[in-house]
Structure formats: structure tokens, C-alpha cells
Amino acid sequence: MGAAAIGAAMQLVALSAALILDLRACSGGTPEGAAMCCSYFFRDDQVHLDDFYERSTGATRQFWTTAHLPAPRYADRPVHVLTSAMTFSGGEDVAYTPQAHGRAVVVVGETTRGGAHPTARHPSSRPAANDRLGFRVKSGCPPRRDTPTSVQASESCRARATPACPARPDRRAEGCADGQGRRKPW
């Protein structure tokens, strides 16, 4: 999603009392898009969200909350994120980052697949298949230092969003804790 689409969605929910983000079928996204989404959940534009280390250059890119957003921030109300084993890449980043920063985001569902890292496409070496065949290889790593499950300590560089309230996709989550540790019947 681009900034305009994210802004339009956030404008629609601007007056709601709480937000439920359904990321159960979200299989991708960019670090820039995830940072834009996450920016709505923080009060100011000076929150360091994440870093991505790029192997090919040895450089680390920082991602911060965005200063100017096309819709009002959603920093003062509860945010609940639904995840599944299919949630991947940018969807994981949107679920994980606010949770890791103590934004009181409640993640409900299954542990995500662990692919919130940049990749690079490598085309086939065969000229006839070059435009149709290729493969993607992990090209970087998000060195998250702010949680006990830091991916910097993990050789696989896989950050998974772990639900505070585990639930199978076909069942309702029962009696889970909200962001303040209170039991809630979702």
C-alpha cells in the first residue's frame, strides 16, 4: 500500500474507539510501507522504529516514524492485530514493531512465518528464461535490539510476531490478556 492508500484507510477509522488490523492474509510489503503504517500508532515523529542491515553494501538503513501523515494519528486508542501463520514480511513488521516498542498493541492469532527482512531478486542465468524465472534471496537483516528475541542473536534473522493471545484461525480467542495484562474475552 502506498502512503495515500494507508492515509485513506486511517482517515476512515479516525473517529473509531479501537482498531482491528486484520493481517492474517498479508504476505508482503516494504519497510517504508510498514514504517508509514506504524507511524499512525505513535504520538510523535521521532520514534526510531527499526534498522535494516544490507549485506551487499554493509550499510544500515534506519526507519523512523513519519512526521507528516495524510490522516490523524491513532496513538491514543487501542490497536488489535490479527495474525496467522500466513502473515509474512511487511505484515509481520506492522504487527511486531509497535508491540516491540510497548505501544500496547495486542496481537491475536498465530505466530507469524518469520520473513520481515529485505530480499533481492536474482534472475535466471538462462537468457530465454531470464524474464520469467528467478529467485529471491534474503539480502539484509533487521537487527532489533529492543526485545529478548532479538533477531541479531538469531542466525536466521527471522523476526516473528508472537501473539499475546494465541488463537487458531477457525476459533475465537478466549480469555486473553489485553495490553495492560487484564483478561479479556475477545
For the record, the C-alpha cell of 12 comes out as: 476512515
Percentage with pLDDT > 70 across the chain: 65
Q: Of 34-43, 47-56, 59-68, which gets the smallest average pLDDT?
A: 47-56
Query: Residue 56 is which amino acid?
Result: S
Alpha helices (H) in the chain, listed in sequence order: 3-12, 31-39, 90-100
Q: How many CA atoms lie within 13 A of 127 on its CB side?
A: 0
**How far, in Å, CA of 64 to CA of 16, rounded?**
25
184 SS3 class: strand
Model-level pTM? 0.73
In a domain, 37, yes or no: yes
CA distances (Å), 5 to each of 14, 52, 53, 92, in order?
Answer: 14, 24, 28, 19
> How many separate domains does the chain show?
1
Element (H, E) at 48: strand 48-54
In a domain, 6, yes or no: no
Domain CATH code at residue 116:
3.90.226.10
Q: What is the pLDDT of residue 185?
A: 43
Which residue segment(s) compose the domain that 145 sits in? Answer: 32-171
